[in-house]
Amino acid sequence: MSMWYPENKHELNEVLHKFLKTGKRKKQVKGIIVPHAGYEYSGAVAGIAFSVVKTPIKKAIIIGPSHYVYLYDAMTSNKDYWETPLGKIKLFNTDFFRGDIEQEHSIKNQVPFLQKIRCNEILPLMIGKITDEQAQEIAKKLAKIKALYVFSTDLSHFLPYEQAVERDKETIEAIESLDLKNFSNVDACGYYPLLVMMHLCKLKKTKPILIEYKNSGDVTGDKSAVVGYASFWF
């Protein structure tokens, strides 16, 4: 097993099959918000969001934060395709700046789920530290592309269990109400992707609805310092 998901095709297929059985299909899902920790921690929370999407889908845009690179913009991949144990998936690009972003797990971890729900092409998009103005511009660009939007974020990191639940509840409320005024209270590693999501939802006249919330303490039993995971659809 890699740090994130099984490298063995058979094992990965089994895990995905288990995670994708959980949600009820919704009509006209424009996008989802999913966590990106290792599958053993947050795969079930992500899977339930992917399972509400009507399949197959032609295109998906995966919008994730930058964990490894200092970036003050949005960047897509400079490759023609990405590969997972399930095979290759084609990349499409609009006019976003290109670079090597393949190690970004916040994006990469969503790809096997998309392959499993029979997505043909993806646009991986890594978001650095951006201004609200930049977020609006990116949202406008994304709104013109017909695709499933997949926003990738974990919630609070390394707080004691009870404290994390309280903090994450505030973040979930801000996300569901698209509350830009109190957005600075949002505690999530995908803070900047979520900022783009808020503007995109306003443009699309839709709001995220919580599907599931858990944290790593619910999975491992260790509640001393946990990471929060939530999934939504809109």
For 112, the token pair is 């096997």
Question: What SS3 class is residue 205?
Answer: coil
Q: Considering the domain 9-233 in this protein, what is its CATH number?
A: 3.40.830.10
Q: Is the pLDDT of residue 1 over 70?
A: no
217 has pLDDT over 60:
yes
Task: Give the model confidence (pLDDT) of 21-47 as tens digits.
Answer: 877 788 789 999 999 999 999 999 999
pLDDT at position 159 is 97
Q: Rounded CA gap, 171 and 104, in Å? A: 23
Cα(191)–Cα(157) distance, integer angstroms? 13
The reported pTM is 0.97
Asked if 5 contacts 38 with a C-beta cutoff of 8 angstroms, the reply is: yes
pLDDT at 2 over 70: no
pLDDT of residue 94: 79
pLDDT score for 26: 81
